[in-house]
Chains A and B, each alone.
Chain A
Amino acid sequence: MPVDRHAQRLLDMLAAGRQGEQTALDADSLRRSMTRLARVADARRVPIGPVEDRSALGADGEIPVRIYTPYDAEGETLPGIVYFHGGTGVFCDIGTHDGLCRLLANASGCRVISVGYRLAPEHPFPAGVDDATFATRWVAECAVQLRVDPGRLVVAGDSAGGTIAAVVCQHARDHGPRVALQVLLCPVTDLAAESESRLAFAEGYFIERPTLAWAKAVYCGGVDPRDPRVSPLRAARLSGLPPTHIHTAEFDPMRDEGEAYAKALAAAGVPVRYTCHPGLIHHFYCMAGALPQARAVVQSLGADIRDALSAANGTSTRCEELDVGADSIVADLDDVDQLCEDGGAGEPREDLRPPVHRGLRTVDYQ
């Protein structure tokens, strides 16, 4: 399908600003621009339970976290989502993802713990990943105090936060804590490859190739982009990871690497639900104030989390108000079989890389 008409308006606004643009790529400038964008494009006035700013204990000091309790759930022990915001590891923060976390808490019925990990270039890799790992451990260790059920701990993130979430889950598999589910939104999974979607949507699709190249250099510092701690698709072993939900957007440069990670995990025996959201663009989930479809998608993926945790708990409480959108369809079994035949575990292979989008929407790999 074509680009969602509301998303197209945003892309047109970007294009209008790009003509004659004089600003250079600069971390501080981008941070301020993203903060301003969040103020006008994010979901606003989302009713929710208590929202509390606290600090987690990290190896190099305190890590700011913001804890969201869903509407009408104060005092209950709930599943927890440790959430890592995106922004290439250079910009965005807890504040730019505030609306998303509120929507996510309500839709999933989880307490959401949004983590303000350190950013490059002030704190180059691996500072952010270290903070994320410590914050996740802190949530597990303080679960009783935070009124989070440690048996239903979700690790989630978007874009570069999706990279961090994936890396945290790989680390947690070997060192704890136990993660019940990982949820990745438009994740960056391979900084060392040029997928077809990165080429097809290099220009004019919200985040552009020069910005990605600049941010990669800033974020990685001296680290090889093939290092699995910045490119989790390249991890030597993917088996044993928690059940996974991966969401991509049809017109996102990172779409193919999200799908490739879904396929690689499935090939390694991990239960995966993969959904590509038609018509949408990168960062859509943080622009629910300007993109009605984004709000519907966040509600839908939150309901998926609720269902997955309920299923793991032996009950089912499917959200009755779920609006998945008319274009979301579940692929038939032939598609699933075809996709699952593709690969084995280990290093990602060239034939694991998906072709330009085939119209696939949702696939459950079991």
Chain B
Amino acid sequence: MSDPSAPAPSPFSSLEHRIADLVHSLLVEHSVKRVLAPEEDLRLAGLSSLDMVSLVLSVEEEFRVMVPESGITPANFRSIAAIGRLVSSLRVDQ
């Protein structure tokens, strides 16, 4: 029998979890305190274009990767899951 007090399973993979932490720390600055879904659009959730610069630089620092110019696209940074896929591919390449 499952424990009703146990936390709900995370919708994120471990890599996505680290990205989600970065995203949520940016959103909380704008009083957005809810947890986003993995595929939820970050801009619709309230991330500004300036925040996107902070997010990309933070992702690069967190995962010690350099996103090539061709990789800095709206699609690659649309959601936590999209960033996760980008980071995974960069870690293989780099």
The CA of A290 and the CA of B29, in the complex, are separated in Å by 22
Q: Which residues of A contact B (CB under 8 A)?
A: 5, 8-10, 12-23, 29-30, 32-37, 39-41, 290
The CA of A81 and the CA of B69, in the complex, are separated in Å by 38
Contact call B44/A22, Cβ cutoff below 8 A: yes
- Among B52, B61, B69, the residue within 8 A (CB) of A17 is B52
The CA of A17 and the CA of B53, in the complex, are separated in Å by 8
Contact call B74/A16, Cβ cutoff below 8 A: yes
Contact call B74/A20, Cβ cutoff below 8 A: yes
The CA of A13 and the CA of B51, in the complex, are separated in Å by 9
- Among A16, A32, A35, the residue within 8 A (CB) of B52 is A16
The CA of A19 and the CA of B50, in the complex, are separated in Å by 12
27 contacts between A and B (CB under 8 A): A5-B69, A9-B69, A12-B69, A13-B52, A13-B53, A16-B77, A17-B47, A17-B50, A17-B51, A17-B53, A17-B74, A20-B43, A20-B74, A23-B47, A29-B30, A30-B50, A32-B30, A33-B29, A33-B48, A33-B50, A33-B54, A36-B29, A36-B54, A37-B53, A40-B54, A41-B53, A41-B57
Residues A32 and B29 in contact in the complex (CB < 8 Å), given A16-B52, A20-B41? yes
Q: Which residues of B contact A (CB under 8 A)?
A: 26, 29-30, 41, 43-44, 46-58, 61, 67, 69, 72-74, 76-77
Residues A290 and B49 in contact in the complex (CB < 8 Å), given A12-B72, A20-B44, A32-B29? no
Contacts of A21 in B (CB 8 A): 43, 48-49
Contacts of B61 in A (CB 8 A): 40
Contacts of B43 in A (CB 8 A): 17, 19-22
The CA of A12 and the CA of B75, in the complex, are separated in Å by 12
Instruction: How many A-B residue pairs have C-beta atoms within 8 angstroms? Tell me.
Output: 85
In the complex formed, the residue of B with least CB distance to A12 is B72
Residues A9 and B72 in contact in the complex (CB < 8 Å), given A40-B54, A40-B57? yes
Contacts of B44 in A (CB 8 A): 20, 22
Contacts of A29 in B (CB 8 A): 30, 48
In the complex formed, the residue of B with least CB distance to A32 is B29
In the complex formed, the residue of B with least CB distance to A38 is B54
Contacts of A41 in B (CB 8 A): 53-54, 57
In the complex formed, the residue of B with least CB distance to A41 is B57
Q: How far is the CB of A134 from chain B (nearest CB, A)?
A: 31
Main secondary structure on B side of the interface with A: helix
Question: What would 11 more interface pairs be, CB under 8 Å, given A23-B46, A290-B57?
Answer: A9-B69, A16-B49, A16-B72, A16-B73, A17-B47, A17-B49, A17-B51, A23-B48, A29-B30, A37-B54, A40-B57
The CA of A20 and the CA of B52, in the complex, are separated in Å by 12
Contact call B51/A36, Cβ cutoff below 8 A: yes
In the complex formed, the residue of A with least CB distance to B50 is A33
The CA of A298 and the CA of B47, in the complex, are separated in Å by 31
Contact call B56/A13, Cβ cutoff below 8 A: yes
Contacts of A40 in B (CB 8 A): 54, 57-58, 61
Contact call B57/A17, Cβ cutoff below 8 A: no
The CA of A40 and the CA of B53, in the complex, are separated in Å by 9
Contact call B54/A39, Cβ cutoff below 8 A: yes
Q: How far is the CB of A277 from chain B (nearest CB, A)?
A: 20
Contacts of B41 in A (CB 8 A): 20
Contacts of B57 in A (CB 8 A): 13, 40-41, 290
The CA of A53 and the CA of B20, in the complex, are separated in Å by 35
Q: How far is the CB of B56 from chain A (nearest CB, A)?
A: 5
The CA of A10 and the CA of B57, in the complex, are separated in Å by 9
- Among A14, A30, A32, A35, the residue within 8 A (CB) of B53 is A14
Q: How far is the CB of A55 from chain B (nearest CB, A)?
A: 27
The CA of A358 and the CA of B28, in the complex, are separated in Å by 45
The CA of A8 and the CA of B56, in the complex, are separated in Å by 13
Residues A19 and B74 in contact in the complex (CB < 8 Å), given A33-B48, A36-B29? yes
The CA of A165 and the CA of B30, in the complex, are separated in Å by 32
Give the most central of B56, B69, B73: most A CB within 10 Å.
Answer: B56
The CA of A15 and the CA of B50, in the complex, are separated in Å by 9
The CA of A291 and the CA of B84, in the complex, are separated in Å by 25
Contacts of A16 in B (CB 8 A): 49, 52, 56, 72-74, 76-77
The CA of A35 and the CA of B50, in the complex, are separated in Å by 10
